C-alpha cells in the first residue's frame, strides 16, 4: 500500500516522519513524505499565546488529511489539542522517547551549586512555552525568562551565539536530531552542557516525547497499515496524560504539565502540575489501573482548593496541599 505521510518541514518533523516511513516500509508499504507549512512555522516572532497556542502546528496538516491530500499525519503528540476533528483519529503511537525537558547551558554561566537549574543568578533563559516559563520562574525567580521561537537548530544557534545563557528543549526532540542522518543531524556546539530536568519536578507537557499517527476515521485500510507501529504500553500511559489535558483545557487556561509512568505491577502513576497566576505551582499524583479514572482523580485533587482563579471569574483553580512557591524556592 502506498501511504502519503504529511508532516511539518522542520528537521525534527522530518526525522520523525522518516522514522515512521522506515517502519511502514519494513512492513511492506511504500511511502511518500509530503511537507506542509503550518501557522506555527510562519509566526516565529510571537509567543504562542499571541497566535492561538492550541493546534498551531497541526491545523494545516489535519486539513490536508481530511481533504485526502495525505493518508497519514505524523505529529509531535504534545502539539495536538486534546480533541481532534471528528473526521480524524489517532491510529498509532510508537514507543515514546524520554518525556523530560533538558536545559542547555553555556559553560560560562553554569553553576552546579544551584540545584536542578544549575545557572548563575540572573541568567537569561530562552523558551516559548508558558509551562516552561512558569516552572522556571517558580523554581528560580531570579532568572530572566525571555521569548525564544524557531526550530531546534535555530534555538541552539541562538544559545551558541550568546543571545541566551540557557534554553529549554524536549529531551526527545534533541535525541532524534542528534541521530538524524546527513545535514539534519544536530551536534551541540562546544561549551554547551546538557542537563536533564527530572520530570517529577519539572513536569513535562502531556504526551511530550511521543509521536502520534493520525488518519481519517473511515480509512480502514490505512488504519490497519499504521496500527502495526503502535506501542500499547506507550498508548496506555498517554491516554492518562491526554485525559488530564482535556480536563485542564476545560478548566483553567494556565500552564499545565502531566507525566504518566507504568509501575511494575501494571498500574499507572500520573503526576500533574498546574501553574497559578500568583507564581505558585500546585501538584497532584495518583495511581490507578485505568487511565481515565486516574486522570479524573488527579484533576479532582488539583481542583480541591476553594480560591477562585484571579484570571477567570467562572473557574475554580487549585491551591492544594502540594504547592511550590516562587519566593525562596532557591537559595540566593
Domain parsing of the chain, residue ranges? 2-95+210-230, 101-197, 237-324
pLDDT (mean) for 220-232? 96
Q: Is the per-residue pLDDT at 330 higher than 50?
A: no
Pick the CATH number of 101-197 from 3.40.50.80, 3.90.700.10, 3.40.190.10, 3.40.1190.20: 3.40.190.10
Q: Point out the least confidently predicted range of 59-63, 110-114, 314-318.
A: 314-318
Annotation: CATH topology of 237-324:
Double Stranded RNA Binding Domain (3.30.160)
Catalytic residue among 132, 133, 216, 283: 132
How many residues are recorded in the chain?
332
Active site residue 252: yes
Catalytic residue among 8, 14, 78, 176: 78
Catalytic residue among 120, 149, 163, 217: 149
Active site residue 149: yes
pLDDT digit string, tens, across residues 187-221: 999 999 999 999 999 999 999 999 999 999 999 99
Active site residue 132: yes
Q: Is the per-residue pLDDT at 282 higher than 50?
A: yes
Name the residue among 129, 148, 245, 244 with its Cα closest to residue 197.
129
Residue 38: the pLDDT is 85
Catalytic residue among 133, 165, 252, 317: 252
**Identical topology for domains 2-95+210-230 and 237-324:** no
pLDDT digit string, tens, across residues 135-184: 999 999 999 999 998 899 999 999 999 999 999 999 999 999 999 988 89
Catalytic residue among 155, 176, 276, 283: 155
Model's pTM, two decimal places? 0.86
Q: Point out the least confidently predicted range of 32-46, 112-126, 206-220, 229-243.
A: 32-46
Pick the CATH number of 2-95+210-230 from 3.40.309.10, 3.30.9.10, 3.40.50.10580, 3.40.190.10: 3.40.190.10
Catalytic residue among 4, 14, 71, 79: 79
Catalytic residue among 14, 96, 114, 131: 131
Amino acid at each position: 500500500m502506498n501511504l502519503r505521510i504529511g508532516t511539518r518541514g522542520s528537521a525534527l518533523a522530518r526525522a520523525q516522519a522518516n522514522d515512521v516511513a522506515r517502519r511502514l516500509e519494513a512492513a511492506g508499504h511504500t511511502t511518500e513524505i509530503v511537507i506542509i507549512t503550518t501557522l506555527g512555522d510562519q509566526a516565529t516572532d510571537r509567543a504562542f499565546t499571541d497566535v492561538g497556542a492550541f493546534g498551531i502546528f497541526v491545523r494545516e496538516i489535519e486539513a490536508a488529511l481530511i481533504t485526502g491530500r495525505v493518508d497519514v499525519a505524523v505529529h509531535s503528540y504534545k502539539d495536538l489539542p486534546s480533541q481532534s476533528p471528528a473526521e480524524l483519529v489517532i491510529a498509532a503511537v510508537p514507543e515514546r522517547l524520554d518525556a523530560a525537558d533538558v536545559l542547555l547551558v553555556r559553560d560560562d554561566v553554569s553553576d552546579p551549586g544551584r540545584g536542578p537549574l544549575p545557572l548563575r543568578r540572573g541568567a537569561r533563559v530562552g523558551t516559548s512555552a508558558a509551562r516552561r516559563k512558569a516552572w522556571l520562574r517558580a523554581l528560580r525567580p531570579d532568572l530572566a525568562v525571555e521569548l525564544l521561537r524557531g526550530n531546534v537548530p535555530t534555538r541552539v544557534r541562538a544559545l551558541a551565539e550568546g543571545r541566551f545563557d540557557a534554553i529549554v528543549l524536549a529531551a526527545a526532540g534533541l535525541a532524534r536530531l542528534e541521530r538524524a542522518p546527513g545535514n539534519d543531524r544536530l551536534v551541540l556546539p562546544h561549551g554547551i552542557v546538557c542537563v536533564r530536568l527530572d520530570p517529577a519536578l519539572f513536569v513535562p507537557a502531556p504526551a511530550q516525547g511521543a509521536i502520534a499517527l493520525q488518519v481519517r476515521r473511515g480509512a480502514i485500510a490505512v488504519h490497519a497499515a499504521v496500527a502495526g507501529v503502535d506501542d500499547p504500553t506507550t498508548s496506555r500511559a498517554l491516554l492518562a496524560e491526554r485525559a488530564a489535558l482535556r480536563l485542564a483545557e476545560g478548566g483553567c487556561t494556565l500552564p499545565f504539565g502531566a507525566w504518566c509512568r507504568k509501575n511494575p505491577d501494571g498500574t499507572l502513576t500520573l503526576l500533574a502540575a498546574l501553574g497559578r497566576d500568583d507564581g505558585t505551582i500546585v501538584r497532584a499524583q495518583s495511581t490507578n489501573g485505568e487511565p481515565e479514572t486516574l486522570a479524573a482523580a488527579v484533576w479532582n485533587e488539583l481542583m480541591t482548593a476553594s480560591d477562585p482563579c484571579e484570571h477567570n471569574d467562572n473557574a475554580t483553580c487549585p491551591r492544594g496541599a502540594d504547592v511550590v512557591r516562587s519566593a525562596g524556592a532557591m537559595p540566593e
